[in-house]
Amino acid sequence: MKILGIETSADDTGIALIEAEGKFGPDFRFEILANEVCSQKIHAEYGGIYPNLAKREHTQNLPLLLKKVRDVSSTVLDTADGKSNVDVIAVTVGPGLEPCLWTGIIFAQELSKKWHVPIVPVNHMEGHILISMMEEGEFAQFDLPALALLISGGHTELILMKDFRRYEYLGRTRDDAVGEAFDKVARLLGLPYPGGPHISRLAEAARNSNLEPDFKLPRPMIDSDNYDFSFSGLKTAVARELQKWQGKTLPLEVKKQIALEFEDAAAEVLVAKTLRAADEFGAHAVVLGGGVSANKHIRSELASKLETVGSKLLVCPSEYSTDNGLMIALAGYFHALKKEFADPSTLKANGTLKLPTA
Ligand code: KG4
Ligand code: ZN
């Protein structure tokens, strides 16, 4: 089956084409025929995403990306009689920014009509989970129950998976998502959006030169008796630390110290809570997904701590951590197998869409 995946939930426009076969499980195989992403640069100077700007950019990018997909894949997207060799169109319908989601939905509707191809609606977070469960074109070997830790610009969620594709929310952030905290701290340090990779680079430089911060940031809710998170206090604590430098130029060494201490604090909280949940629910594996899972320090801390309790970390190559059409095509395939097609005219964007619970 050939699936075209379309992603427009935030500021990355993505279109991918995959060919997949087999049921959910060890028989499953897939091949990437094309995976084109355009990360909108326009938000860099504003320190965050402006939904209406993002929407305009998606509308411009989508046809350009489709053209690229057409150029790099050998699949015939438009035959002479107006059809295509694509079997299914998968499109993100939520969660995310609704004006942005709508651009992808409308684009999918137009293609569906033109090509006479069915549409499957996809939950963005399920895309992040599924892509992290893959290892070189097939499913990674692991036993259930497993946990999913989803960390992105809009979400911080700890989820229990007792069965495949049945999710139980254990906890989530009460305020800012961890990626949002990375972005806000980056902004305080005068770094462009998205700030996560910039903070991470500074922190790594600090770690490599054994720089010791001369202050401590809090580890919010690390000992609380639940699986919720809170990251806005961490950003406030950084702002307070920076007050010392008001009216003065912030030295690079101080930026590095802040990045290091902030990244350590965020990682410690995420790792501690995930480990506690892994212990409580006997999780054999943790699926790490979402843009922040590109973070090397969080990955390596989580992997090494999980190893000590006999649990395995599943995470996708970092190039697929941030939003892309590939993860949507992948999730879409499993919906298509179950014939979960939608009437294109009834598709709706849902900014707060939840994963299906048992
Ligand atoms: O999943 P994603 O692409 O979009 C959302 O669904 O939100 O995640 C984007 C987030 C941004 O907040 C970005 O700063 C963060 O992922 N991010 C990182 C890194 N790379 C991206 N955060 C920390 N370290 C990174 N290396
Ligand atoms: Zn995402």
Is the bond leading into 95 cis (omega within 30 degrees of zero)? yes
Q: How far is CA 102 from the centre of its chain?
A: 19
Element of type H or E holding 160: strand 156-163
Distance (Å, rounded) from C-alpha 258 to C-alpha 280?
A: 33
CA-177 nearest atom, ligand 1: 12
Q: Which residue has a Cα nearest atom 3 of ligand 1?
A: 322
pTM: 0.96
Q: How far is the CA of 155 from the centre of ligand 2 (A)?
A: 8
Assess whether the C-beta atom of 200 lies below 6 angstroms from ligand 1: yes
pLDDT range class, residue 25, cuts 50, 70, 90: confident
pLDDT at 43: 84
Cα–Cα distances (Å) from 17 to 85, 140, 187, 331, in that order, read 11, 21, 35, 12
Model pLDDT for residues 231-290, shown as the tens digit of each residue: 999 999 999 999 999 999 999 999 999 999 999 999 999 999 999 999 999 999 999 999
Ligand nearest, relative to CA of residue 122: 2
Distance (Å, rounded) from C-alpha 114 to C-alpha 299?
A: 43
Both tokens assigned to 46: 């504003």
DSSP per position, 250-279? --HHHHHHHHHHHHHHHHHHHHHHHHHHHH
